[in-house]
């Protein structure tokens, strides 16, 4: 009796498990079908042949804005110019004729020494020369040409232009330029430098 009861319980348990498996399979099928997308009736599907190229929409032409017309400048009326009073022709010529330039003014220090003053300078150099005793005993006669600068009775840069060939005579000529007592220069050449060339004469007389 107990053995038949156990078999009945085993069959019931097996039937319950099989029912549970069937119920799970049915639930899985229903959930899978509900996940499929539903196509809307308003959407259309178009089939495109592989041989035909896809249709590309044409670009819309751009409309360029037209430039605005600039307003024309209005002409400004010119103001009437005041009339100048007419000047008499004689008076106009008196003021419009160019004035002649003033005569050049002599600038002190730029004038050349006069011939009279140059002669006084030569005389001063000649008066300062002396014949050395040795040349005097030999009855030497001759002349030496010297050149020097002078400003306000002060000589400088003395040099020999034409020598005598005798050293002591040439040295005496150069020393005569340094020892000479020169006259006062005229106002027009004061403060300026001038070059003088002088022949120094040597004789026994």
Q: Kindly report, residue by residue over 112-127, the tens digit of the pLDDT.
A: 889 999 999 999 999 9
Q: How far apart are CA 129 and CA 181, in angstroms?
A: 12
Cα dihedral 161, 163, 169, 171, rounded to 10, equals 40
Q: Give the lowest-confidence range in 85-89, 124-128, 148-152.
A: 85-89
Q: What phi-psi label fits residue 164: left (phi over 0), alpha (psi between -120 and 50 degrees) or beta?
A: alpha
Identify whether the C-beta of residue 160 lies closer than 8 Å to the C-beta of residue 173: yes
> Which whole number is the average pLDDT over 25-39?
58
Taken in order of first residue, the domains within the chain and their CATH numbers are 115-202 (3.30.1150.10)
Confidence of residue 48 (pLDDT cuts 50, 70, 90): very low
Query: Within 13 Å, how many C-alpha atoms sit on residue 16's CB side?
Result: 6
> What secondary structure, in 3-state letters, does 172-183 show?
HHHHHHHHCCCC
Burial class of residue 139 in the structure, from the number of CB atoms within 10 Å of its CB (0-12 exposed, 13-18 middle, 19+ buried): exposed
β-pair partners for 148: 196
Q: How far apart are CA 31 and CA 8, in angstroms?
A: 35
Identify whether the C-beta of residue 120 lies closer than 8 Å to the C-beta of residue 145: no
Q: Give the lowest-confidence range in 26-35, 100-109, 183-192.
A: 100-109
Confidence of residue 20 (pLDDT cuts 50, 70, 90): confident
Burial class of residue 112 in the structure, from the number of CB atoms within 10 Å of its CB (0-12 exposed, 13-18 middle, 19+ buried): exposed
The winner for highest mean pLDDT among 13-27, 52-66, 102-116, 145-159 is 145-159
Q: Give the global pTM.
A: 0.45
Whether 180 shows a pLDDT value over 80: the answer reads yes
Strand duo 194-202 + 154-162: pairing: unpaired
Identify whether the C-beta of residue 193 lies closer than 8 Å to the C-beta of residue 113: no
Confidence of residue 42 (pLDDT cuts 50, 70, 90): very low
């Amino acid at each position: 009796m107990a053995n038949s009861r156990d078999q009945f319980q085993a069959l019931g348990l097996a039937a319950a498990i099989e029912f549970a498996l069937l119920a799970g399979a049915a639930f899985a099928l229903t959930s899978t079908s509900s996940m499929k997308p539903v196509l809307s009736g308003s959407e259309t599907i178009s089939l495109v042949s592989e041989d035909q190229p896809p249709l590309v929409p044409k670009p819309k032409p751009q409309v360029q804005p037209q430039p605005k017309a600039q307003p024309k400048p209005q002409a400004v009326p010119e103001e009437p110019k005041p009339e100048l009073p007419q000047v008499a022709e004689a008076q106009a010529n008196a003021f419009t004729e160019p004035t002649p330039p003033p005569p050049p003014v002599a600038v002190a220090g730029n004038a050349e020494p006069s011939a009279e003053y140059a002669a006084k300078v030569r005389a001063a150099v000649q008066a300062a020369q002396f014949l050395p005793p040795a040349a005097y005993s030999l009855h030497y006669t001759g002349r030496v040409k010297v050149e020097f600068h002078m400003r306000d009775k002060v000589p400088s840069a003395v040099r020999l232009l034409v020598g005598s060939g005798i050293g002591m005579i040439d040295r005496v000529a150069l020393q005569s330029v340094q020892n000479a007592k020169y006259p006062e220069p005229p106002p027009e050449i004061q403060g300026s430098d001038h070059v003088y060339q002088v022949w120094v004469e040597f004789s026994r007389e």
